[in-house]
Amino acid sequence: MATLEIRDLHVTVGGDAESTEILKGVDLTVASGQTHAIMGPNGSGKSTLAYSIAGHPKYTVTGGTVTLDGEDVLAMSVDERARAGLFLAMQYPVEVPGVSVSNFLRTAATAVRGEAPKLRTWVKEVNGAMQALEMDKAFAERSVNEGFSGGEKKRHEILQLELLKPKIAILDETDSGLDVDALRVVSEGVNRVRASGIGTLLITHYTRILRYITPDFVHVFFDGRIVESGGAELADQLENEGYARFGVNEAAAH
Ligand code: ADP
Ligand code: MG
Ligand code: MG
**CA gap 254, 239 in Å, rounded:** 8
Region 29-49 average pLDDT? 94
Which residues share a beta bridge with 9? 26
Q: Name the range with the highest mean pLDDT among 1-5, 111-115, 140-144, 180-184.
A: 1-5
**CA gap 135, 174 in Å, rounded:** 17
Strands (E), the chain: 3-13, 20-31, 35-39, 59-68, 71-72, 86-88, 96-100, 143-144, 168-172, 199-204, 217-222, 225-230
* Boundaries of every domain in the chain: 3-92+166-246
139 CA to centre of ligand 3 in angstroms = 27
What CATH architecture is 3-92+166-246? Answer: 3-Layer(aba) Sandwich (3.40)
69 CA to centre of ligand 2 in angstroms = 29
Query: Ligand 1 pocket check: which of 9, 10, 13 to mutate, most ligand atoms within 8 Å of Cβ?
Result: 13
Ligand located closest to 172 CA: 3
pTM for the model stands at 0.89
**CA gap 254, 11 in Å, rounded:** 30
Report yes or no: 102 and 141 within 8 Å, Cβ to Cβ: yes
Residue 254: is its pLDDT beyond 80?
no
